[in-house]
Homo-oligomer: A and B are copies of this chain.
Amino acid sequence: MLGSMKLDEIDIRILSALQREGRITKLKLAEKVNLSATPCWERLRRLEKQGVIAGYHATLDLSQLARFTLVLTEISLHRHQQADFKRFEQTMQETDEVLECYATGGGIDYLLKVIARDVDHYQRLIDRLLTLDVGIDRYFTYIVTKPIKESREVPLTALMGKEHLPSEEKLS
């Protein structure tokens, strides 16, 4: 839901800082957003309690951990009833290898980002989905040959800059 709470510029700075440094100290955070510790801490607690900050996560450098393959998969379903969508989406939620899944307009129904040990692992995963009969009609596989960018930071200022910050309303 949008608008359940108004965020001012300081809140945005707090959120931006925490996107970058999830384990920054509360004192350093306050300093970075030009606020004293107590009010900064209160804002932070509010943002966490409201769920604006959904959580904190370590980001791993997978390339140091294991061989793996990223795959992007376009999927179309047989039928397009609510129950069909729901069933497919539920399966995606439960499949750990599916890192991301988006419903789209335009020809295909879903696009997935899948991580697997290798192409064989990926293919077995797809085969399992097909035999599970979750409604897949056609699928198309793009193997990722090179990950160029994987950002964990949403560009808050670009998204909120124009309409959310108090523009010149009531400038006397």
Residues of A within 8 A of B (CB): 1-2, 4-5, 7, 15, 18-23, 50-68, 70, 72, 89, 92-93, 96-108, 110-111, 113, 115-117, 140-156, 158-160, 162-164
Contacts and interface: CB of A to CB of B under 8 A. Distances in A.
B19 A156 contact: no
This chain: copies in complex:
2
A64 B140 CA distance: 34
Interface of A is mostly: mixed
A148 B51 CA distance: 18
Given A20-B57, A22-B23, A107-B142, 9 more contacts: A4-B64, A19-B60, A22-B56, A54-B61, A65-B156, A65-B159, A100-B150, A101-B149, A102-B144
